[in-house]
């Protein structure tokens, strides 16, 4: 997994690319650390360039959600498609996250 | 009886290869001829991708190889002209083995894109369980709480460089037949009790989804060796 960050009006958008798997713990740690930075009210995880996700990475997205909630940040998942969309549907992520196309 | 040809890749000493061939009853292949078994030293992802695009080899074994790499799974790989990968956890962890194995699967058998996606998801879960919980011996409970996640990451990074954990083998055996494909994933961890995995995970659970995904996606699942060996069968 690779990620890049761009500012949006009230926070940050993190664009993830490649495959999100159990081996990406260090990348997720960097992303979750961004939630500690002051000033953001809204965080968008852009998943449109993610081709595959496993359940360990789903768990790490949920950890990001817990951290966001504790900081009063709203976390939005954007652009999930293919296998990523299917596995998030199975995991009922729509009940936990705001999801945008 | 013809001896199984063995070839050594870059970084494998000729003497080690000769000793191995003599001790195990293999013949030494020249680089110009296809070898059924390929011994490679610390292969990286690109090298593995290139090796797996051809057939044979039917087994790719990382050197230095422990004795158990030449056991029953190797025999089955050679007999069935399947594919055995026997790697250290340090090598397997960052090589994204799932995508390599699925590419090999796509080359060798005609699955629909949807079924291949099922196989990819299930194999990934099995490899994740085998390497993180099995060989690195890290409990998934450390991924439950953001407060513990730093500790989880530090532990993974530390164990991937600690020989007692990093050198443990991950073995994947894929065999094909008219009925589909069998994928066996074997680790050297402490094993687990399958009865712990019967309950469906909660929606907000950060871990515990892997085995239920495998069960949902595979046509059949068999667990052996006290949880150290998981075989998934996939009908087309």
Residues in chain A closer than 8 A to B128 (CB atoms) = 21-22, 54-56
Two tokens, residue A50: 């993610």
Percentage of chain B modeled with pLDDT above 90: 77
pLDDT tens-digit map of A6-27 = 999 899 999 999 999 999 999 9
Three-state helix/strand/coil letters over B41-75: ECCCHHHHHHHHCCCCCCEEEEECCCHHHHCHHHH
Specify whether the CB–CB gap between A80 and A99 falls below 8 A. yes
Of residues A19, A22, A66, nearest to B128 (C-beta): A22
Q: What angle do CA B29, B31, B34 make, to 5 degrees?
A: 65
Asked if the Cβ–Cβ distance from B124 to A95 is below 8 Å, we say no
pLDDT band at B197 (very low <50, low <70, confident <90, very high): low
Q: Is the ipTM of this complex over 0.95?
A: no
pLDDT (mean) for B191-196 = 72
Quote the pLDDT of residue B192.
78
pLDDT tens-digit map of B75-87 = 999 999 999 999 9
pLDDT tens-digit map of B45-62 = 999 999 999 999 999 999
Two tokens, residue B76: 């089955």
Residues in chain A closer than 8 A to B140 (CB atoms) = 59
pLDDT tens-digit map of A32-80 = 999 888 888 999 999 999 999 999 999 999 999 999 999 999 999 999 9
Asked if the Cβ–Cβ distance from A95 to B203 is below 8 Å, we say yes
Of residues B99, B157, B206, nearest to A63 (C-beta): B206
- Taking alpha carbons only, the member of A84, A97, A21, A91 closest to residue B205 is A91
pLDDT (mean) for B158-171 = 98
A30 vs chain B: nearest CA distance in angstroms?
10
Those residues with Cβ within 8 angstroms of residue B12's Cβ, 6 or more apart along the chain or in another chain: B39, B40, B41, B63
Quote the pLDDT of residue B112.
93
Quote the pLDDT of residue A5.
95
CA distance linking residue B151 with residue A51, whole number of Å: 28
pLDDT tens-digit map of B208-231 = 788 889 999 999 999 999 999 999
pLDDT band at B204 (very low <50, low <70, confident <90, very high): confident
Of residues A29, A67, A83, nearest to B121 (C-beta): A83
Three-state helix/strand/coil letters over chain A: CEEEEEEECCEEEEEEEEEECHHHHHHHHHHHHHCCCCCCCEEEEEEEEEEEECHHHHHHHHHHHHHHHHCCCEEEEECCCHHHHHHHHHCCHHHCCEEEC
pLDDT (mean) for B20-42 = 91
Asked if the Cβ–Cβ distance from B209 to A91 is below 8 Å, we say yes
Question: What is the maximal distance between C-alpha atoms in chain B?
Answer: 61
Q: What is the CATH number of the domain that holds A26?
A: 3.30.750.24
Specify whether the CB–CB gap between A43 and A14 falls below 8 A. yes
Those residues with Cβ within 8 angstroms of residue B100's Cβ, 6 or more apart along the chain or in another chain: B45, B48, B49, B52
pLDDT band at B108 (very low <50, low <70, confident <90, very high): confident
**How do strand B5-8 and strand A98-100 relate by DSSP bridges?**
unpaired
Percentage of chain B modeled with pLDDT above 70: 96
Quote the pLDDT of residue B33.
79
Those residues with Cβ within 8 angstroms of residue B200's Cβ, 6 or more apart along the chain or in another chain: B212
- A86 — phi, psi (to 5°)? -60, -45
Asked if the Cβ–Cβ distance from A90 to B206 is below 8 Å, we say no
Two tokens, residue B213: 């995904």
Q: What is the CATH number of the domain that holds B209?
A: 3.30.565.10
Which burial class, exposed, middle or buried, applies to A75 when counting CB atoms under 10 A from its CB (0-12, 13-18, 19+)?
A: buried
Query: Domain range for residue B20?
Result: 5-234
A92 vs chain B: nearest CA distance in angstroms?
7
Asked if the Cβ–Cβ distance from B132 to A56 is below 8 Å, we say yes
Asked if the Cβ–Cβ distance from A96 to B145 is below 8 Å, we say no
Specify whether the CB–CB gap between A41 and A11 falls below 8 A. yes
Quote the pLDDT of residue B196.
64
Asked if the Cβ–Cβ distance from B153 to A54 is below 8 Å, we say no
Two tokens, residue B179: 């009925």
To the nearest 10°, report the CA torsion of B52, B219, A60, A27: 10
Quote the pLDDT of residue B198.
56
How many domains does chain A fold into? 1
Q: Give the three-class secondary structure for B80.
A: helix
Quote the pLDDT of residue B30.
85
How many domains does chain B fold into? 1
Two tokens, residue A74: 């709203």
DSSP state of B138: -
Quote the pLDDT of residue B195.
65
CA distance linking residue B31 with residue B21, whole number of Å: 15
């Amino acid at each position: 997994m690779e990620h890049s960050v761009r500012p949006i009006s009230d926070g940050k958008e993190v664009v993830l690319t490649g495959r999100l798997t159990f081996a990406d713990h260090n990348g997720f740690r960097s992303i979750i650390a961004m939630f500690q930075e002051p000033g953001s009210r809204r965080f968008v995880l852009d998943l449109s360039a993610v081709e595959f996700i496993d359940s360990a990475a789903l768990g790490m997205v949920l950890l990001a959600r817990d951290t966001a909630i504790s900081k009063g940040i709203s976390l939005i998942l954007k652009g999930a498609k293919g296998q990523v969309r299917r596995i998030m549907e199975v995991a009922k992520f729509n009940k936990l996250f705001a999801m945008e196309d | 009886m013809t001896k199984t040809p063995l070839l050594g890749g870059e970084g494998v000493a000729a003497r080690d290869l000769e000793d191995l061939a003599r001790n195990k009853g293999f013949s030494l292949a020249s680089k110009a001829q296809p070898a059924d078994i390929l011994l490679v030293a610390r292969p990286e992802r690109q090298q593995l991708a290139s090796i797996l695009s051809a057939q044979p080899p039917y087994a790719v074994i990382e050197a230095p190889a422990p004795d158990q790499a030449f056991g029953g799974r190797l025999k089955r790989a050679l007999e069935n002209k399947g594919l055995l990968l026997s790697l250290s956890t340090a090598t397997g962890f960052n090589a994204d083995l799932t995508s390599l194995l699925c590419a090999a699967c796509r080359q060798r058998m005609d699955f629909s894109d949807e079924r291949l996606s099922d196989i990819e998801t299930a194999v990934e879960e099995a490899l994740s369980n085998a390497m993180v919980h099995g060989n690195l011996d890290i409990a998934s409970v450390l991924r439950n709480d953001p407060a513990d996640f730093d500790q989880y990451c530090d532990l993974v990074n530390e164990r991937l460089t600690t020989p007692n954990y990093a050198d443990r083998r991950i073995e994947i055996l894929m065999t094909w037949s008219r009925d589909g494909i069998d994928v066996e994933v074997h680790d050297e961890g402490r094993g687990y009790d399958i009865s712990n995995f019967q309950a469906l995970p909660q929606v907000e659970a950060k871990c515990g989804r892997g085995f239920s995904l495998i069960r949902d996606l595979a046509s059949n699942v068999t667990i052996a060796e006290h949880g150290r060996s998981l075989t998934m069968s996939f009908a087309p």
